[in-house]
Structure 1
Amino acid sequence: MRAVLGDRCIYLTENPPRTLRKAILYRDLKAAQLVCDFPDFLRGQEREDTLHIALTHYKRKWPKKSLSSISLLNSSRNAFLHKRRTSSTDPELLQLFVGILKKFLPSYYRAEQSLVIQVLDILQMMFRETENVPDRLKTLEISWELIGDLLNLIAHFPSLQNESSSSFTSSNSTSQEQDDLSPSRFIKMFIALLFELFLCAQQKFVENAGENVNVVWMVNQLEEIGCEELIQRIVDLTLHLTQPRRHGSCLSPAHVLQLYQQGYILLTLLDHSTKLTEVICSNYFTEFKYLVQRHVIEKKIPSHYPLSHTLLTLIDKVLDKILN
């Protein structure tokens, strides 16, 4: 049995491409979790190279349909799907979401904080590499002023967070609610959004799409705005994941992804800004020399993780920039 990812749902098939059975609509998914184990039904190298993903979804009964009927259904929706993908990166939506962030940051009420979390999730998806590349690059090019506002919010969020730190906890809220809206979750989401913006800007060089907005422009914007507090938060989160511990354990897939995002941002700043390079090297040289050790990190990252080799190479580059 194999899984086939479609535009709107997941199909199951035993004899591709002759038979496809609709299994799960994406809208029915409740949760997706990367399971840290080796699939029992595989053997050899394929077993080590395969990720085990557990999906939790609402049950739905599907009528049996042939491949031809599914193809016909998908063909009839092509126009709608194209419109949906284009609208997901509409500059007007970007303007709306940036306006919401500017209005509700710093946030003092839980409802506003939940809204900010949802907006940050949507913005990450708008610029994520799995979305329609030309539309994403077009949005980046024609919305450079909004991107500047977004970079300003990202750079200033640590100081805004300090102003409203007391609002992130409440005596009437449960521990689960506090975890969902904790200050660390907000800063991690802003870091993830900056990572997506950097990736999207880097893609412009590959696609030769415009010259107004690129990685150098973004880094220069952060340099002019002043992002020392943001750099401090990124370094603190990096050290938390990399420093040696007496009872060290492997990093989870989510932590590996976060570490890659943090390292990618640091390397981008080091590559494109002399001023920010001086800030990082002068303030955090000792920390990176003694607390970020490759052999320790290598033990924390299971070799079967897809990002393991790429992450170690990235860390080597960051250490080389800072220490040498």
Structure 2
Amino acid sequence: MASPLPSGFPGRTNSRLDVFLRRHLPPEFYDAVRAYEPCIVVSNSENHTLKYVVLSDRLIYLTENPPKSIRRVVALRDVVAIDLIDDYPEFLSSPDREISQHIRIIYSSTVLKKECKKSNSVRKFLFPFHHTKANNEKGTSRRAVHHPRTQLSVLIQASKSCPFMAKKATLLQDPFYASEFSRAIGSQKPYRSEEKIKHFSQLKSELFLKDNSLRRILPLIMELKAAAQKNFILKRLFWKTGDLFYFLVNKLHEYLPESRDKNALQNQSQRVDELVACIEIIQTLVLMFRETETESSRLNTLAAKKGTLFNLLVVLISEPQIPKSCPVFDIQLVADSALVRMSFDAELRKLILEYTNTATALLYEILLVFQQGNLGLGSTKFAISCMMSFLQSCPPIITFVASIVKQVVRGLSASFQLLSPCQAVLLYQQFYILKSCLRHSRTLAEYIKNNYREEFRYFIHMPALQKRLPLCYPITQPTTQLFHEVLKLVE
């Protein structure tokens, strides 16, 4: 990696602690550290002790101040629920008390039960999180926590922390996702950050070759996505310069909403290949957006060419165009041309649905960027009102919102079969987009209320949600709360 003190990264500004972490954590764990913050610990054994909490991609650590040892205390996959508590810690003085928020995190101790020596406990912690301010020096301040047994602090944006954790936890309940995740982690070779940097540079140079065909680009994008799933360092490298982000967005423009290749307008087989590539590109972008909110390079890249970001929004809300004619190949070699057309039509419909779901996931991630503003990372500003104002001016947004409502209706009323983990996460993202439209766009809010009031009365209601969403999913609680907000806005 580069310097251990990335410029503008608010959660990693303590050089002494950073050196300690580099020396005491394996390289792959150190590179996975997202942020660290000072905190006040209150427990049966400690009384208002100043310590540091360290947040990685899978674990929360605790170390002394100054650091002497480090121990794992919470596995993020064990998080069951996160609640925002509307009070202030009495043991803090102003202004610290005024800029803190309590976040209650409920988690089980399955992953770390050996360290904790408890196998059946469920713990509650109160985490304060201060309101980020642009003039907050170095983006840090004292945060405090109190509980009868143990206290911690963590640098996670309050508006995203609950669904974010409820989603690395709900998806892991999907057998296919869990097996893929375990295989990705288990297949890693001994970690070398230099090798990851070299691998990323090689992939980028191959992607940037002139006259690259779609068939040559697709496996490279898939390789990039797989590598980023295994190592967070590739996400940092992706946003460091931004040229690969611009490349992928421009590549989407070549094929969406319609292909620039005139042959694809008449060739269903070619259009299928293009849509498969577009889905892979969007899935890669979703992965690069996820868990990178504290990376200043991401905001710098997005702000440097806001036109690229808004062009991406237009692509995501536009329905892909598909050819209506027969595929271009020797139809005489096929016994039944009608069956062939039906096969291609079915495949295209399936790809369109997969594309819409993937585009929904990326639109959700971009909404979070604008919802969170600049996170105290310099003068770069993103406003949700600005994004929604732009979207409501784009004609395709009406069709996109209509498709979201129809998918929600289909998901809640098609049958009484329980939603899969992936479907549950998608449902949360769909409700989040609807809430953003209802709350921040008068035009879209009026459209939803005027055209889908009956759907919300007869299909999109709480009993239907309760029958389809299992209580064991961590995403169920935040989805239910979000559902209530959407219903209230519609009514």
Regarding TM over 0.5, the answer is yes
1:279 aligns with 2:279: no
Partner in structure 1 of residue 372 of structure 2: 203
Task: Spell out the pairing of 1:220-231 with structure 2 (5 A cutoff).
Answer: 220-226=389-395, 227-231=397-401
| Inter-partner Cα distance in structure 2 for 1:268 and 1:225 | 16
- The 2-side partners of 1:113 and 1:304 are apart by 35
1:55-134 paired onto structure 2 within 5 Å? 55=180, 57=183, 84-89=234-239, 90-105=241-256, 106-107=258-259, 108=264, 109=270, 110-130=272-292, 133-134=295-296
AA in 1 matched with 2:183: H
Aligned twin of 2:382: 213
Rounded to whole Å, the distance in 2 between the matches of 1:317 and 1:287 is 16
Give distance in 1, aligned partners of 2:243 and 2:430.
29
Aligned-partner Cα distance in 2 for 1:251–1:260:
12
Q: Tell me how far 1:191 sits from its aligned partner.
A: 1.1
CA 101–244 in structure 1, closer or farther in 2 if over 3 Å, else same = closer
Q: Separation in 2 of the partners of 1:239 and 1:124?
A: 25
For 1:167 and 1:260, the matched residues in 2 are separated by 38
Q: How much has 1:93 moved relative to structure 2? A: 1.6
1:239 and 2:409 equivalent?
A: yes
Q: Cα RMSD between the aligned structures?
A: 4.0
Three-state SS of the structure 1 residue aligned to 2:179 is strand
State the one-letter code of the partner of 1:199: L
Name the structure 1 match of 2:357. Answer: 188
Between structure 1 and structure 2, the one with the greater Rg is 2
The corresponding residue for 1:265 is: 433
Q: 2:179 aligns with which of 41, 54, 60?
A: 54
**Is 1:310 matched with 2:478?**
yes
Task: Specify which structure has the higher proportion of helix.
Answer: 1
Q: Deviations over 1:65-111 (max 9, x none)?
A: xxxxx7xx66x789888974433123222221121111112244133
CA distance in 1, matches of 2:436, 2:340: 41
Whether contact under 8 Å (1:264, 1:314) holds in the other structure is yes
Q: Shift of the alpha carbon at 1:178? A: 2.7
Cα gap change, 1:173 to 1:128, in 2 (>3 Å): farther
Inter-CA distance 281–120: structure 2 relative to 1 (3 Å threshold): same
Q: How far apart are residue 299 of structure 1 and its match?
A: 2.6
Q: Which shows bigger deviation, 210-219 or 139-148?
A: 210-219
Structure 1 residue 296 corresponds to structure 2 residue 464: yes
Q: Measure how far apart 1:249 and its partner are.
A: 1.9
Q: 1:222-258, CA deviations, whole angstroms, 9 ceiling, x for partnerless residues?
A: 111121000011111111112274xx12111001011
Q: Report the Cα distance in structure 1 between the residues aligned to 2:326 and 2:455, rounded to whole angstroms.
A: 31
TM-score (norm 2): 0.49
Whole-angstrom distance in 2 between the partners of 1:321 and 1:167:
46
In 2, the alpha carbon distance for the partners of 1:218 and 1:61 equals: 39
Code of the residue aligned with 1:255 in structure 2: it is Q
The aligned residue for residue 25 of structure 1 is none
Unaligned runs of 5+ in 1: 12-16, 19-38, 64-69
Q: What is the CA-CA distance between 1:208 and the residue it aligns to?
A: 5.7
Cα shift readout 1:27-82 (whole Å, capped 9, x = no counterpart): xxxxxxxxxxxx9x997566xx975533463886978xxxxxx7xx66x7898889
Deviates more, 1:268-277 or 1:123-132: 123-132
TM-aligned CA distance change 1:205 to 1:267, over 3 Å = farther
Structure 1's 178 and 312: CA in aligned 2 closer, same or farther, altered over 3 A? same
Return closer, same or farther for 1:171/1:82 CA change in 2, 3 Å cut-off.
closer
1:136 aligns with 2:298: yes
Does structure 2 conserve the Cα–Cα contact (< 8 Å) formed by 1:128 and 1:196?
yes
Instruction: Tell me the distance in 1 between the aligned counterparts of 2:354 and 2:400.
Output: 14
Q: Deviations over 1:261-297 (max 9, x none)?
A: 1000010111111111101110111101110111221
Question: Is contact 2:276–2:351 with CA below 8 Å preserved after alignment?
Answer: no
Instruction: Tell me how far apart the structure 2 counterparts of residues 207 and 118 of structure 1 sit (CA, whole Å).
Output: 32
**Fraction of identical pairs, as percent:** 24
